[in-house]
Amino acid sequence: MGPVEVHVITLTLLLPIPQIKKKQQDVVGFLEALKIDYTQFDIASNEDNRMWMRENVPGEKKPTNGIPLPPQIFNEGMYCGDYDTFFEAKEDNSVYEFLGLTPPPGSKVVFLRVSFSCLT
């Protein structure tokens, strides 16, 4: 597949949080298995990435404390979702649609009609 602008917001710590690390590995591993190019942005080592994530996750998707946890997934400036919505798309065989991408020819993908609200 050609280059796309899928961004995966991740967190790298010296003492990683096991649940977050597992979710990040699941997202990245699945994108690699589908040969979807992506860029990973670490919020632990870059304050700009952290602020960008906090500003670009829609309000209704933020937890009650207001600080979303990684992984958060974007396609360019379009918010795709968090790990839970990614996992649902994976289970429904609709990851390409979740990411706002066209499936490659010959792929067995379930097509669902979903309307995305772009919040950028």
Write down the pTM of the prediction: 0.79
If one counts every other C-beta atom within 10 angstroms of the C-beta of residue 77, the result is 12
- Radius of gyration from C-alpha coordinates of the chain: 14
In the chain the domains, ranked by start, together with CATH numbers, are: 6-99 (3.40.30.10)
As a whole number, the mean pLDDT across the chain is 83
Which pLDDT tens digit goes with each residue over 18-54?
A: 899 899 999 999 999 999 999 999 988 899 999 999 9
